[in-house]
Amino acid sequence: MLGRSRLKPLADQVIVITGASSGIGLATARLAAKGGARVMMVARNAEALAAVAEEIRIDGGVVDTVVADVSEEEDVRRVVSTTVQRFGGFDTWVNNAAVALFGSVEEVSIEDHRRLFEVNYWGVVYGTLNAIEHLRHKGGAIITIGSILSEIPVPLQGPYVAAKHAVKGFIDVTRQELDMERAPISMTLIKPSAVDTPYPDHARTYSSSQPKTPPPRYSPNLVARAILTCAIHPRREMTVGGGGKAMVLTHRAFPWLFDVIMSSGGEALQKRDEAVGEGDQPTRDNLYQPRRDGDSRGVSGLGGREVSLYTEVRLRPGAAIVLTGAAIAIGFAVANRVSTGRWFWEEEPRGWRRLVAADWLHRRRHPIADWTDHARHRIGDVAGEAQYRLGTAAGEAGHRIGSLAGQVETGLGALAGGAKAALGGIAGAANRRLGWLAGTAEAESETLAERARAALPEWTDHRRHRSWW
């Protein structure tokens, strides 16, 4: 199924986010809008929803809102139809809305217990089924916010733990059934560790102390990054926060030890020193009705880590490969040092090392002398190569110059011969023309002389008989 999912780039997506008026949902909406996605924000609190949506629009984001309660299936259907009308559909659906209870299983009323399931479990069911109907043919992603409590139990949050376990089971089965149909839908379960959100501030508590999430806590922006990464790269599931992953692994490997730790210290880790009624905590219980919203961070000021090395590795598989390779190399070097008393580069080369890197390993024993010899030989090689190349270039240049001189000489000879022949031709033509002119002049002279001789006697007789007086 994950291989058949072709998810769009974030900037080309329309993303629906439930529970978007605070906490992880609000952080995700802000980050998605900043990345160019068009966002449909869904929550019960109309006033807070309008305020945060306007803030995102001022920052240049494209968002719209739907006031809806995900525990009502009709509201969820209205979210889908409104998104289709506003944006033409959606590409990613994020099941994020949730409520919280703090109290022992015996203390929590059945009514409150059922209400939590209506939001945390049935809200996911309604959202997932409606999203599948829309994405079945076009493809897309359905991302559900679970918790590390989907895999481990903690005291005082029994209904929440049960609902998150149910959500994990529902998502896993739905993923398998979609795979059977070969539907192009990516199903992802995000499992955050404790996060610095208004989660405990919004919770209904049965204790006299105000609740809190146990450390280590992480920033909601870290979870938002994981959600948007899964919106463009199909993932089956992802745990956010190395502290939570360590708790899950401890529970799997040593369940009895985990139970001892939780039963002895779990309650203290989830209670603050302030008593209920101090501050504004009672005004923020939103189990049945929305109260104060609009914050992505908790009001307790406990803070959360902005970076998790474990999560960064999960978000960047390439970095995970590099770190794994480095860890293996370091482990091999340390194991070799422990077993032989020497680092592997201090040993005489043998076996595969003699074939692969014997020369390098040998030189490591005398690095300065070997590096000097190597540099001297290398410089000599470079100088010889340069001399050879210069000689070759000089010979080729001489050959080219000689060839060019011969070509010039031949050209000049041909030009001189051509000029001589042309001048000879001109002289012959001039000589012939002058000869013809001379012959013509001579013939004309003889004709004139003959005429003069013929006319002379007649002129003489005339002069003789002419009287001058």
* pLDDT tens track for 15-51: 999 999 999 999 999 999 999 999 999 999 999 999 9
| Domain annotation covers residue 179 | yes
Low-confidence winner among 233-237, 264-268, 461-465 (lowest mean pLDDT): 461-465
pLDDT given for residue 275 in this prediction: 72
pLDDT given for residue 125 in this prediction: 98
| Domain annotation covers residue 262 | yes
Q: What is the CATH number of the domain that holds 169?
A: 3.40.50.720
Q: Chain centroid to CA 445: how far?
A: 110
d(CA 302, CA 118): 30
d(CA 129, CA 69): 16
pLDDT category, 467, cuts 50, 70, 90? very low
Total structural domains in the chain? 1
| Domain annotation covers residue 210 | yes
pLDDT category, 423, cuts 50, 70, 90? low
pLDDT > 90: percent of the chain:
52
pLDDT digits (tens, 9 = 90+) for 130-160: 999 999 999 999 999 999 999 999 999 999 9
pLDDT given for residue 462 in this prediction: 55
pLDDT given for residue 315 in this prediction: 82
Q: Look up the pTM and report it.
A: 0.70
pLDDT given for residue 1 in this prediction: 53
d(CA 213, CA 193): 9
pLDDT digits (tens, 9 = 90+) for 329-347: 788 777 777 777 766 666 6
Highest mean predicted confidence (pLDDT) among 323-327, 362-366, 398-402:
323-327
| Domain annotation covers residue 411 | no
pLDDT at 468 over 60: no
pLDDT digits (tens, 9 = 90+) for 67-124: 999 999 999 999 999 999 999 999 999 999 999 999 999 999 999 999 999 999 999 9
DSSP state of 7: P
Helices H, strands E: what count in the chain? 14, 11
pLDDT digits (tens, 9 = 90+) for 344-363: 666 666 655 555 555 554 55
| Domain annotation covers residue 355 | no
DSSP state of 217: P
pLDDT category, 128, cuts 50, 70, 90? very high
pLDDT at 459 over 60: no
pLDDT > 70: percent of the chain:
71
| Domain annotation covers residue 286 | yes
Highest mean predicted confidence (pLDDT) among 177-191, 192-206, 388-402, 450-464:
177-191
pLDDT category, 469, cuts 50, 70, 90? very low
For CA atoms 250, 252, 256, 260, give the dihedral sign.
Answer: positive
CB 119 within 8 A of CB 98: yes
Mean pLDDT of the chain: 83
Domain carrying residue 99: 10-315
CB 96 within 8 A of CB 24: yes
Helix axes 158-181, 110-120, angle to 10 degrees: 30
pLDDT at 178 over 80: yes
Q: Give the SS3 label for residue 272.
A: strand
pLDDT given for residue 370 in this prediction: 60
Looking at per-residue confidence, does 95 or 310 come out higher? 95
Q: What are phi and psi of 64, to 5 degrees?
A: -140, 165
pLDDT given for residue 124 in this prediction: 98
| Domain annotation covers residue 354 | no
What is the pLDDT averaged over residues 308-313? 82
pLDDT given for residue 113 in this prediction: 97
pLDDT given for residue 352 in this prediction: 55
| Domain annotation covers residue 333 | no
Low-confidence winner among 146-155, 197-206, 306-315 (lowest mean pLDDT): 306-315
d(CA 174, CA 151): 18
pLDDT given for residue 197 in this prediction: 92
Looking at per-residue confidence, does 292 or 369 come out higher? 292
Task: Considering the candidates 121, 160, 199, 218, report the single residue annotated as catalytic.
Answer: 160
What is the pLDDT averaged over residues 263-282? 75
- Nearest of 222, 404, 383, 186 to residue 303 by alpha carbon: 222
- Nearest of 124, 9, 99, 120 to residue 45 by alpha carbon: 99
Catalytic residue flag (residue 160): yes
- Nearest of 72, 79, 176, 177 to residue 134 by alpha carbon: 79
Low-confidence winner among 296-300, 314-318, 458-462 (lowest mean pLDDT): 458-462
Looking at per-residue confidence, does 279 or 14 come out higher? 14
Give the number of residues written for the chain. Answer: 469
